[in-house]
Amino acid sequence: MAYVIVLPEFGLVTDPTVGVITSAGESLSPVIEKVAILEANADDLVNMLSGEGNMLASFPGRENGLAIGGTITSFWYGIAIGLFIAGIIAFQLIKAVA
C-alpha cells in the first residue's frame, strides 16, 4: 500500500485509496497546537462583530474600544454622505433656478 506525503515536517501522510490523512509514526501535537491558535483567532474575529469584550491582542481596559470606534466612524461617514447628498440637491436647485 502506497502513501502520499502531505506535510513531511509534521509526518503527515495520506492513503490515496481511502483519502484519510494520518500521522506516519510521529506525533500530531504540533498540528493540534496550531489548530488551537487558529481557533482562538477565529473566535476573536467572530467576537469582534459584537463590539463587546476584550480582544486577544488588545490591552486591558479597552473592552468598549470597538463600539466607540464604530460609532465615531459611522458618525463621520453619515456626515460625509449627508453633505454629499445635500450638495447634489443644492446644485440641482441652483441649476433649476438659473
Distance between first and last Cα of the chain: 87
Residue 79 sits at the vertex; the CA angle it makes with 78 and 82, to the nearest 5 degrees, is: 80
Please state, in angstroms and rounded to a whole number, the distance separating the CA atoms of residues 89 and 50.
36
Would you list the domain boundaries of the chain?
Answer: 1-49, 64-98
* Interval 29-82: pLDDT, tens: 777 889 899 999 898 888 877 777 777 777 788 777 888 888 999 999 999 999
Quick one: pLDDT at residue 27? 62
| Residue 25 region by backbone torsions, left for phi larger than 0, else alpha for psi between -120 and 50, else beta | left
Rounded mean pLDDT, 16-40: 80
Q: Look up cell 449627508; give the residue.
A: 82
Residue 2 corresponds to which cell in the numbers above? 502506497
pTM across the whole model: 0.49
Residue 23 has pLDDT above 70, yes or no: yes
